[in-house]
Amino acid sequence: MKKIVKQVLGIDVAQKELVVCLGRMYDDWTPELYASKAFRNTKKGFESLMLWVKKQIDETITIRYVMEATGVYHEAFAYYLDEQEQELSIVLPNKISNYMRTLDVKTVTDKTASEAITRFGLERKLDKWKKPKDTYRDIKQLTRERGQIVEERSMVKNHLHAEESGAYPNKSSIARIKDRIKFLNKQEKAIKEEIAALVAKDNEVKENVVLISSIPGVGSLTASIILAETNGFELIHNKRQLASYAGFDVKEKQSGTSVKKKPKISKKGNKHLRKAMHLPALSAIKHDERFKAIFARLVAKDGIKMKAAVAVQRKLLEMAYTLYKTRSVYDKEYLKKEEQPDEQIEIKEAVK
């Protein structure tokens, strides 16, 4: 009789429901998917799910819960499982999507996605998820709130410009719009002060922010966003994985000689990370010789400034990860010490 050696519950997370699939691996290394169901993504839904799982599994064998890091919708259940002292692994979405391409899945649905996650969990050795530091969690909430305020202020400023450029500007409307901008400025200032206070009271976070903000163009706010959105690079094991998580990975479609599209970034990752790197990249291109040279070389090659700027954004993010891992600060004088082409200089040579 075959013996069960591993049990996994794969979870496809949506805003309102969790679609799950139970699977087990036998001692002859054959997997079996044997039960599926959907539950509401609420506290009551979590409780129902746990009761259902208990009835389905062999309680003498530890079960591992596996889910994708999908925005914020997975977080409530992740914290619930942590409170219940259950084994949980959270996987970057690109890993699951790449794995699904290896399967004979013709139609992607919530059910087939949960089945793929279960198979992935059965076949791979996954790291156990650790609950984020409270500081990183709080910073992420605040930086995302600030992002919404910045977007709203940009829209209001455009409205102000349109109103002032009209043939007959309405003075009272303009006054109200300006008051709204002042209010949004005040809110942003309060949030930034709150973020600074959170960083200051946690020595570990403060040290990490100092390391990352040593990069040209990267300030303490950007460093805080990077750390909060990656939970201190908790799920990241290399630079390529980080680029994919942020959506900076290159997407290319080519088939023989008839189909060939220009490579472009996937934009399927964390949009908050990508947004955070935009202004720092422009600053680094303007003030740092390394990034100025990289930008100029790429523009000369392709003639597309935006593409070159995005490449700098990716390099800045990868450098933040390198500095974090090596516990080093950026060396502004390294170009004087190393005479090598830009494209051959690795990020690790830009740190001391």
Structural domain boundaries of the chain? 4-123, 135-350
Residue 302 is predicted with a pLDDT of: 82
- DSSP structure class, residue 168: S
Residue 262 is predicted with a pLDDT of: 59
Residue 173 pLDDT more than 60? Answer: yes
pTM over 0.75: yes
- At residue 342 the predicted structure's pLDDT band, cuts being 50, 70 and 90, is very low
When the pLDDT of each residue in the chain is averaged and rounded to a whole number, the result is: 88
Helices within the chain (DSSP H only):
43-56, 75-83, 93-101, 110-123, 134-165, 171-200, 203-212, 220-230, 239-246, 271-276, 278-287, 289-302, 305-326, 334-337
- At residue 258 the predicted structure's pLDDT band, cuts being 50, 70 and 90, is very low
Residue 333 is predicted with a pLDDT of: 67
Quick one: what percent of the chain has pLDDT higher than 90? Answer: 69
Q: Are 100 and 113 in contact (CB under 8 A)?
A: yes
- Mean pLDDT lowest among 125-134, 200-209, 309-318: 125-134
Closest CA to 287 of 215, 184, 190: 215
Q: What is the mean pLDDT of residues 320-345?
A: 69
CATH of domain 4-123: 3.30.420.40
- At residue 189 the predicted structure's pLDDT band, cuts being 50, 70 and 90, is very high
Tens of pLDDT, residues 191-230: 999 999 999 999 999 999 999 999 999 999 999 999 999 9
Q: Are 225 and 280 in contact (CB under 8 A)?
A: no
